[in-house]
Chain A
Amino acid sequence: MANTKRLAVLLAVTSIVVGACGSNNPTPSPTATSATSAPAATSAPAATSAPAATPAPTAASADTYPRNETLYTTGTMWGPPSDASYNPLDPNPEMGTVGLVYETLFLYDPIADKFTPWLADSATWTDATTFTIKTRSGVTWSDGQPFTAKDVAFTIGLAKIKAVGSNIWTYVTDATATDDSTVVVKFNNPTYQQWAQWTYNSPILPEHIWASKANEDILKDKNPNGVGTGPYMYKTAAQDRMVYVKNDNWWGIAAGHPVAPKYIVDIVNGANNVALGLLMQGGIDLSNNFLPGVATLVDKGYVKTYYPKAPYMLSANTAWLATNDVKKPMDDAAFRKAIAWSINVPDVVNKVYGNIVAAANPTGLLPTWDKYIDKAQVDSLGFKYDPAKAASILDGAGYKKGGDGFYTNKDGSAIKLTVVVPTGWSDWEAARDVIIASLKAVGINAEAKIADTNTRTAALQKGDFDLAVVNDVQLGNTPWTYYDFMFRQPLQDPAAKNRNYGSYSNADAWALVQQLDKTPVDDVAGMQAITSKLQKISLTDMPIIPLWYNGAWSQVSPGGWTGFPADGGQQVYPVTWNGYWQMSAIQMLTQIKPVTP
């Protein structure tokens, strides 16, 4: 199927080449236009009315998607989807593989902080080490086979394969389907927080298809046309777009919440001008790209965002300054604190981002985790932008200024810090410049270190950096991920380091992180007690310096569909990125309506 499509494109493209080359009319310049003007003219009228350059009548014979049944999205894909992986076990599958095609046991709603049973009907801890899942009845795989508890048990078992890249079998001891709708999962010393993450992040796979694939090569399968339980099925993919089509047998239709768009066309990210142009023309309904200066367009009413005013976007992750906590002078908590007080975050928010991000809470905890923030403690221990205070911290800690006006190490050697962000991340580069200017204003000499993404990641892993902007912890159900990142012990092998880049060591904090992991997710008071202690450590010791909340970039063009999530309306993340569909973004598709039905 895919090959025939490719052939068709190839044929068509070649014929244009041949056509253009063949028609060598005597007059030079009109030649080019005459070769193409005829077909262009037929599609021209439609281009003004809709992005879909083809009017319905002429489209009768071609395979087209009607405007009122198609949702156009962009912001997830950076390469040709026709060659990408649709394998739900792949670390980076195509957008929608998990969430649209394959589904998870639960959805997690990061705004209401609530789990919604999805493929599970319910799930409870029947005792401290037993998790009993009741599966939803009446669910079928897209090939018609019934979905049962056996599929769930099989999927959990699949995580034993190393290539799947899961760690659940370090705490799960057994998963058995006791009947067609019950799975009993046994734990050894359960890590409730991690397991809760698993229930809404890991797609359930059909045993009847994957049982024969289960081996170390399981990732090599690109798996287009995957058989899932989800509301959509893979339809086609090309160089610059991919298409999902509605699964008419999806269980959600019978459950009373059908998805509205029949087709979802996801367009590969291009240059900013392309995304912006398509959005303005109504050629894209939902753009999850970072578009600098989009606030102006929102204020003028061209596009819509979740909030009509600043910060416009919901928050997706915290951008913080990773400090190399084992290198002079960042090994001194007082010095790190001085850095925290000196950075002009308001300038980053206003000038760099044009108010589409918000300044981070001093704890760095995302708004989703607001109830875990110990506000009284933040008031007494927190920091804000105050250069005078930063200087007084440095003076108080015994740092002296050298002849050049910059502070020196206590042994008198010069301090010159480097700040690294990945090259080409223009917003971060601008933020870096603000950080450097802030540090210099206080008297801490600093300069930019230019490095591409890979170089910068390698530098972080090897500890070959002073200061770096990092945002590795994404939105999720538990602040445990955030603290696991901050306090991870023992320090990982540099080649595989993906947490605690600053090599901060604090045994007490790590014990608390593990204790947090083993706290049941419904024990909010217990979690608050532990996170409050962790916040105290992070605020007094400053292993990292939280700066701002990066946005869950989302821009809506009002032409094609209405009813997108908005503050005051339906409250879910209007984001199509991997990981967000199961964080309730799928519910957005049940709420939107075509403008012209």
Chain B
Amino acid sequence: MGRYFGRKLLIYALTFFVAASIDWMIPRFMPGDPVQSLLSRSHVTPEALPALQAYYENLFGLDKTILTQYANFWVALLHGDLGRSVYLSGTPVTNVIMGALPYTLALLVPAILLSWWAGNKFGAIAARRKVLDNGFLPIGYILTAMPYMWLAIIVAWVFGSVLGILPISGGYSFAMEPSLTLAFFGSLASHWIMPFMSLFLVMFGGWAIGMRNVIIYELDADYSRYLGSLGAPSGLIRRYAYRNALLPQVTGLALQLGVIIAGALVTEIVFGYPGIGKLLLAAVQNQDYFLLQGIFLFIIVGVLIANFLVDIAYVYVDPRTRVGMRGGAA
């Protein structure tokens, strides 16, 4: 067990190191000067420009050699400091991201978990019911093939513009201030439901289709037929098949995480939902390389942690991993 996780952790640490280094390099080696772009937005007189430029280069730590900057980056990173946002006049990037993170997590975590759970259940049921299967199959394929953003636009158009029952933008009503009241929670939820729904639907389609296909395969497998020939009740066979079918779905979850996060980001942009995705758009639009770098780092860490959790989950759902680990340890 220890060796298994030790090896996994080492791989994750290496991945993190490489990814963070690339993440650090890209903005630095791109042409253009972020400080200049900050100052070019305001009407700074030529006489005052050099002083301001020096001030901001010092603030962003750009007045050091490139190797010192790289060393400083790692020191700062280990202290949880991701640098300062250029566009937001030097606000620490960590603060900026922390403000947006709750919204993204509130979308992603329930959407991923619920769609995975519901999709698998539904796919398993659909695999056994001809009528349901015939009806669901095309819908499922359409859903899963849809780009997140496209479905989001359709959902926004139908519920926001045509029916006008759900707000199309923002984290909560623009007429409200956060407070611990029912009205505020209601507003929060009504703004949450459309982005959640569009994420949920696409993923739900994917998981359901996947599960349906695997279940059909498992129900045809030798062990199912053998169980059947022994006279086991079909409910029992289905339970075994479901457990076996779940394994590739867990692996699929780990593989899909990156795509899902990218999907969540564009969904946020469509709904003006104030999470990391919206922030990413702002960072790109403002050429705010430090913010961009910080966001990517957060995404890298997020994906790595999620993958690690899936690794742990795998140990629990697949007894073979546990057996293998015991065998390895003995």
Q: Which residues of A contact B (CB under 8 A)?
A: 5-6, 8-17, 20-21, 24, 28-29, 31-32, 35-36, 39-40, 42-44, 47-48, 50-54, 58-59, 61-67, 70, 72, 78-80, 82-85, 87, 90-93, 162-167, 170, 201, 216, 219-220, 222, 236, 238-241, 243, 265, 267-268, 270-271, 273-274, 277-278, 280-281, 283, 424, 451-458, 461, 472, 474, 488, 492-493, 495-496, 498-499, 579
- What are 27 A-B residue pairs whose CB atoms fall within 8 Å in the complex? A12-B178, A16-B106, A32-B114, A39-B190, A40-B190, A44-B165, A47-B164, A51-B167, A52-B174, A53-B167, A58-B186, A62-B183, A63-B179, A79-B279, A165-B49, A165-B52, A170-B47, A240-B278, A273-B270, A274-B169, A281-B168, A451-B31, A474-B43, A496-B36, A496-B46, A498-B40, A498-B44
Contact A452 B48 (CB under 8 A): no
Contact B160 A277 (CB under 8 A): yes
Measured CB to CB, the closest approach of chain B to A420, in angstroms, equals 12
Contact bitstring B164-198, A, C-beta under 8 A = 1, else 0: 11111111111111111111111111111100110
**In the complex, A268→B285 CA distance in Å?**
13
Given B55, B110, B156, B279, which contacts A277 in the complex, CB threshold below 8 Å?
B156
B286 interface residue, CB < 8 Å from A? yes
Measured CB to CB, the closest approach of chain A to B48, in angstroms, equals 4
Measured CB to CB, the closest approach of chain B to A503, in angstroms, equals 14
Contact A20 B95 (CB under 8 A): no
- Residues in A with CB closer than 8 Å to B286 are 78-79
- Residues in B with CB closer than 8 Å to A162 are 48, 51-52, 55
Known: A52-B176, A451-B31. 14 other contacts (CB 8 A): A29-B122, A35-B110, A36-B193, A53-B187, A54-B173, A67-B175, A78-B282, A85-B90, A238-B178, A243-B177, A271-B272, A271-B281, A277-B168, A454-B287
B271 interface residue, CB < 8 Å from A? yes
Measured CB to CB, the closest approach of chain A to B200, in angstroms, equals 6
Measured CB to CB, the closest approach of chain A to B123, in angstroms, equals 10
**In the complex, A281→B175 CA distance in Å?**
15
Contact of A91 with B173 at beta-carbon distance under 8 Å, contacts A240-B274, A271-B272, A452-B287 already known: no
Contact of A239 with B179 at beta-carbon distance under 8 Å, contacts A17-B106, A79-B282 already known: no
**In the complex, A496→B52 CA distance in Å?**
10
Measured CB to CB, the closest approach of chain A to B78, in angstroms, equals 23
Q: Size band of the B side of the interface?
A: 35 or more
B105 interface residue, CB < 8 Å from A? yes
Measured CB to CB, the closest approach of chain B to A91, in angstroms, equals 4
Given B37, B176, B191, B204, which contacts A64 in the complex, CB threshold below 8 Å?
B176
Measured CB to CB, the closest approach of chain A to B57, in angstroms, equals 10
**In the complex, A472→B275 CA distance in Å?**
32
Contact of A79 with B174 at beta-carbon distance under 8 Å, contacts A40-B193, A239-B274 already known: no
- Residues in A with CB closer than 8 Å to B325 are none
**Residue of B with least CB distance to A87:** B89
Contact A80 B99 (CB under 8 A): yes
Do most interface residues of chain B lie in helix, strand or loop, or is the interface mixed? helix
- Residues in A with CB closer than 8 Å to B183 are 42-43, 54, 58-59, 61-62, 64
- Residues in B with CB closer than 8 Å to A166 are 45, 48
Measured CB to CB, the closest approach of chain A to B289, in angstroms, equals 8
Contact B40 A65 (CB under 8 A): no
Contact B192 A16 (CB under 8 A): yes
Given B164, B170, B181, which contacts A62 in the complex, CB threshold below 8 Å?
B181
Given A29, A51, A455, which contacts B30 in the complex, CB threshold below 8 Å?
A455
**In the complex, A31→B197 CA distance in Å?**
12
- Residues in A with CB closer than 8 Å to B44 are 91, 165, 498
Contact B174 A458 (CB under 8 A): no
Contact B89 A90 (CB under 8 A): yes
B240 interface residue, CB < 8 Å from A? no
Contact A83 B173 (CB under 8 A): no
